[in-house]
Structure 1
Amino acid sequence: MTKSPLQIARAQYAPKLPKSLRNNSVVIVDGEKTQSVADQADIEKLFPHTYGMPLLSFEGSDASVELPVANVGVILSGGQAPGGHNVISGIFDGLKKLNPNNKLYGFLGGPGGLVDHKYMELTADVIDEYRNTGGFDIIGSGRTKLEETWQFDKGVEICKELDINAVVIIGGDDSNTNACVLAEYYLEQNTGVQVIGCPKTIDGDLKNDMIETSFGFDTACKVYSELIGNIMRDANSAKKYWHFIKLMGRSASHIGLECALQTQPNICLISEEVAEKKQTLGAVVTEMANVIAKRAANGENFGVALIPEGLIEFIPEMKTLISELNDLLAEGHDSANEFKATPKADRLEWVANHLSDASSVVFRSLPAGIATQLTLDRDPHGNVQVSKIETEKLLIEMVEVKLAEMKEAGSYAGSFSSQNHFFGYEGRCAAPSNFDADYCYSIGFTASVLIAQGKTGYMSSVRNTTAPAEEWIAGGVPVTMMMNMERRHGHMKPVIQKALVELDGKPFLAFAAKRDEWAEMTSFVYPGPIQYWGPSEVCDLTTKTLIEERK
């Protein structure tokens, strides 16, 4: 494999660890008993063996302890996020420190590898090739959902064959929900197989007091902010284009908010605020057009607007419509089968006729292209594939119409030319920042300790992350603590509650205090590329979101 000079140099980076994980051994301290964030009775009934477990924190010990052999299997689940390879490196190094005879197996292609018994042993030679690199290509990822008993049983078969004591699932909220279901079943069946989760998602919506941030968020936002800054510089040079940039984040606007704090755009829509204000699509368009008109009055017919990927789901009228569509087109339902049997030319009319009166009006008002995108095949969780909805183009089209109306009314005298962008995959497999390299390695190392201590149904947790790495607090949080009940595929199911942007939270308030100034002025900031070597205040800086939250 040919490597770039950066890859060669980066391979030598030694991730930093919390002090408790650098000692000879670790003592686990039990904290308070926990309960789920909502629907406590329902969650406890579904998870009788793993509900109510205590929070865990680690303390270092100088005692030398070599534990019995513990073989572990690891799974990468869902979309990629920078730092996944370092999570696996941390698990590997942690296991070898506990007992040099421990083995780590990687299940190939995601959770499906566990079910289909596709795996490889991850030896030191393999691990060393992937330290501090982006991507999930060491074993590949996948979106197979572990939901059926027969899948769990197939997993037990391969674990017994390989003498695997524990499985680590590296994934987002749905993947870690599946990890908890698996842990519960394996305890109930007395299989002897533990299950530990690790918090991954660039979207930043898997977090709480014990999970301060999901890994990959830091790196992805730095990559997107570099690209946004480059576009801002171009916009400020050419002075003739409005750039509408859609950013990843289907269920929350954390990426958009973080990138706004880093780059200071003229417009940044926050989906959660749109929902709170109960804004219509027309109101959002008017708000954007007013900013464009105000800048034009100052002679600045250019700017940058950031748009969260999931915006359309947060507009109340659209959210209602999408909810009805999710139920109408849920896989396996008679209505979904009837829809598929309808000739393509007639499908939009068929859908409109099967919606409530209010949603039918909204659906019929949409451009045919957007309406069609809303009826495409659902994602594995039964939801509209929002990333396929070209929201940025829809807004450009509607803003153009609004500006034409304003020009006719005499309230706009500028010119409007647009460019559209979608930044998504560009950030998912970047080489991890120093923060993510350290954080991911610590998460993986923490998982190995939880396994050694016989824990299951826990998510690896590393806190106090705005302090130097040696002061980070490692431990574990019961996955059931983060759960509530939500409708999926037309049925109520237990899932980890997504963390949305809090409109009374410090990051949003910091943004809200400056956005009017940024809207009218050209206050662009150009973050530049991720730096791996140099001053700590540049190279080890974490997200502005985390800094604001932990002030």
Structure 2
Amino acid sequence: MNLSPLQKARYEYVPKLPGMLRHGIAEIAVKKGEATTSVADQEKIAELFPNTYGEPEVTFEKGQNTSVVKKQVVGVILSGGQAPGGHNVVSGLYDALKATNKENVLIGFKGGPSGLIEDNFIVFDDEYMDQYRNTGGFDIIGSGRTKLETEEQFQIATEVCKKHGITAIVIIGGDDSNTNACVLAEYMAAHKTGVQVIGCPKTIDGDLKNEDIEISFGFDTATKTYSELIGNIERDCNSAKKYWHFIKVMGRSASHVALECALECQPNICLISEEVKAKKQSLSEIADYIADAVEKRAANGNNFGVVVIPEGVVEFVPEFSALINEINELLAGSKADAFNALESWTEKYAFIEKGLSKEAMAVFAILPQAIQQQLFLERDPHGNVQVSLIESEKLFAALVGDKLKARKAAGTYTGKYATQTHFFGYEGRCAFPSNFDADYCYSLGYNAFMLIQYGFNGYLSKVSNLSRPAEEWVAGGMPITKMMNIERRHGEDKPVIKKALVELDGKPFKYFEAHRDEWAVETSYTFPGAIQYYGPTEVCDLTTRTLALEQGK
């Protein structure tokens, strides 16, 4: 393998553990807290999870290790989209397992949850593990999006675990993956298999978050990576002084990534999906809001700027959401075949015009043709519009252009308006983890094994007090059921982990809200630069602006 100098250096980085996990394994004791309840729908969740509901939160502290000594064979699964630091969760788990007993075994199931069902695996050893420490990506075993949710899957998983003598499974994933982990844990307990299931909180979107999970791993690195790129564009923008850059960043259901990048880079405009929904803003109102900033900056001789847009913002626009619902109905069942059989866009447009309500058609008609056509691209597995395929950065660039043309025709706008569009997504998912994510993920993995060793099932590995130095971090675990509520999914009530959206009364948004009017008109750009791995602690080990504001640091 050809290694870059940075990769060689990152192999040598030694992740920092919380203070209480730095003691020898024999000196790590567990402290149990109060019994827990789910975030909502307590009776229903308790009924669905009788064997794993209501368990206490736990923390680890210095003291006598009272866990039962036995050989552990642990399976690990990477689930869902990639997030920086996943390899360190695995290496932390491996190191804790081997530090407890050299005979312990870690089995990695390949390609996500399907690897468990298909019994596709690798047994880790030192040589293999050392190739992946402190590196980005999930290529150590690969990932996948197969859901573990059927009785048949659980039976097969049980047989695979029995075959290998597996005592525990660690599932590293986001809210859906940890929901699956919770359901699997309940099955294993109900059928007295002796297999424990532990989850680890992963997602760059930042929406797996609550009073217990201060931040999901990967968010720190991804937002620092995107902020570097946005800062670079801001510098170019301020140099050329001739383009408005519209930049879409990841975040389908929540705007945490966009907000953090705005706090880091201070662009002229940043849309927050949750605010769009709360204010019931229309596409036209959003376009006017951006056009106002363009006009004010042009009056100062600044015909350039930067707009940051969260990936899923159009879903939060009420009129657009209604349009999507009508399109889904329009193309339901055999009607999709009739639509796809039409050869020209003119014929398809007539079909659409006939099938949509007057209100929906009014929204559809103002969209650029390229966006109109994107709404009729390949459906998702449920037959719905794939909103993530819509190039909302191009949509808003065009809508703002239309607004400015109208203002120019009315004689109220005399500036210039030229655009460039960007989408930053995959650029951040597999970056080398920042020091924070390298430390946090290693701690999550190490901590996950301590939960296994003490016999816990259906728990999430939890590390908190994260805005402080790692020495002061608190390690422990919480029942996954604590995060659950009931939601309507595909016509059925399902137990799921509640997604965390941007809180409009939270400190990060309030800080952004207090400064955005100034940023809209002034050129207040900041340039975060590349992720720093080496140098002063105050540069290398910074947490996100979001976490610092939330914890008042």
Rate the CA distance shift 1:30–1:357 in 2: closer, same or farther, 3 A.
farther
1:530-541 correspondence runs (5 A): 530-541=531-542
Counterpart-to-counterpart distance in 1, 2:212 and 2:381: 28
1:226-237 correspondence runs (5 A): 226-237=228-239
Shift of 1:150: 1.0
Asked if the contact 1:23–1:62 (Cα under 8 Å) also holds between the matched residues in 2, the reply is: no
Rate the CA distance shift 1:48–1:536 in 2: closer, same or farther, 3 A.
same
Q: Residue 217 of structure 1: which of 200, 216, 219 is its match?
A: 219
Shift of 1:193: 1.2
Rate the CA distance shift 1:343–1:382 in 2: closer, same or farther, 3 A.
closer
Asked if the contact 1:297–1:414 (Cα under 8 Å) also holds between the matched residues in 2, the reply is: yes
1:445-524 correspondence runs (5 A): 445-524=446-525
Which moves more between the two structures, 366-375 or 529-538? 366-375
2:101 alignment counterpart: 99
Shift of 1:339: 2.3
SS in 1 for 2:169: strand
TM-score, with normalisation over the residues of structure 1?
A: 0.95
2:197 alignment counterpart: 195
Rate the CA distance shift 1:213–1:323 in 2: closer, same or farther, 3 A.
farther
Which moves more between the two structures, 314-323 or 445-454? 314-323
Shift of 1:35: 1.6
Shift of 1:74: 0.5
**2:367 is the alignment partner of 1:370:** no
**2:340 is the alignment partner of 1:343:** yes
2:437 alignment counterpart: 436
Shift of 1:378: 5.0
2:393 alignment counterpart: 392
Q: Provide the aligned C-alpha RMSD in A.
A: 2.0
Rate the CA distance shift 1:67–1:15 in 2: closer, same or farther, 3 A.
same
Asked if the contact 1:381–1:488 (Cα under 8 Å) also holds between the matched residues in 2, the reply is: no
1:243 alignment counterpart: 245
The one-letter code matched in structure 2 to 1:498 is K
Counterpart-to-counterpart distance in 2, 1:356 and 1:138: 50
SS in 1 for 2:501: coil
Counterpart-to-counterpart distance in 2, 1:533 and 1:169: 31
Counterpart-to-counterpart distance in 2, 1:315 and 1:8: 47
Counterpart-to-counterpart distance in 1, 2:478 and 2:385: 31
Rate the CA distance shift 1:378–1:549 in 2: closer, same or farther, 3 A.
farther
SS in 1 for 2:167: strand
SS in 2 for 1:502: coil
Rate the CA distance shift 1:27–1:397 in 2: closer, same or farther, 3 A.
same
Rate the CA distance shift 1:299–1:342 in 2: closer, same or farther, 3 A.
closer
2:412 alignment counterpart: 411
Rate the CA distance shift 1:63–1:181 in 2: closer, same or farther, 3 A.
closer
Shift of 1:63: 5.3
Q: Residue 68 of structure 1: which of 64, 67, 70 is its match?
A: 70
**2:4 is the alignment partner of 1:4:** yes
Shift of 1:456: 1.1
Asked if the contact 1:65–1:98 (Cα under 8 Å) also holds between the matched residues in 2, the reply is: no
Which moves more between the two structures, 368-377 or 502-511? 368-377
- 1:15-35 per-residue CA deviation (whole Å, 9 max, x = no partner) reads 000111112232221212222
Asked if the contact 1:460–1:475 (Cα under 8 Å) also holds between the matched residues in 2, the reply is: yes
2:21 alignment counterpart: 21
The one-letter code matched in structure 1 to 2:524 is S
SS in 1 for 2:130: helix
2:175 alignment counterpart: 173
Counterpart-to-counterpart distance in 2, 1:154 and 1:20: 38
Rate the CA distance shift 1:352–1:144 in 2: closer, same or farther, 3 A.
farther
Shift of 1:375: 4.3
Q: Residue 280 of structure 1: which of 282, 286, 292 is its match?
A: 282
SS in 2 for 1:450: helix
Counterpart-to-counterpart distance in 1, 2:337 and 2:96: 50
Listed as ranges, the gaps of 5+ residues in structure 1 are 330-334
1:547 alignment counterpart: 548
Rate the CA distance shift 1:478–1:419 in 2: closer, same or farther, 3 A.
same
Q: Residue 184 of structure 1: which of 177, 183, 186 is its match?
A: 186
1:162 alignment counterpart: 164
Shift of 1:336: 3.6
SS in 1 for 2:131: helix
Rate the CA distance shift 1:225–1:382 in 2: closer, same or farther, 3 A.
farther
Counterpart-to-counterpart distance in 1, 2:380 and 2:81: 12
**2:121 is the alignment partner of 1:119:** yes
- 1:77-117 per-residue CA deviation (whole Å, 9 max, x = no partner) reads 11000000000001101111221111001000011101111
Q: Percent identity?
A: 61
SS in 1 for 2:431: coil
Which moves more between the two structures, 100-109 or 492-501? 492-501
- 1:424-474 per-residue CA deviation (whole Å, 9 max, x = no partner) reads 000000000000000000001111011111111111110000111011111
Rate the CA distance shift 1:383–1:460 in 2: closer, same or farther, 3 A.
farther
SS in 2 for 1:513: helix
1:322-337 correspondence runs (5 A): 322-323=324-325, 335-336=332-333
1:332 alignment counterpart: none
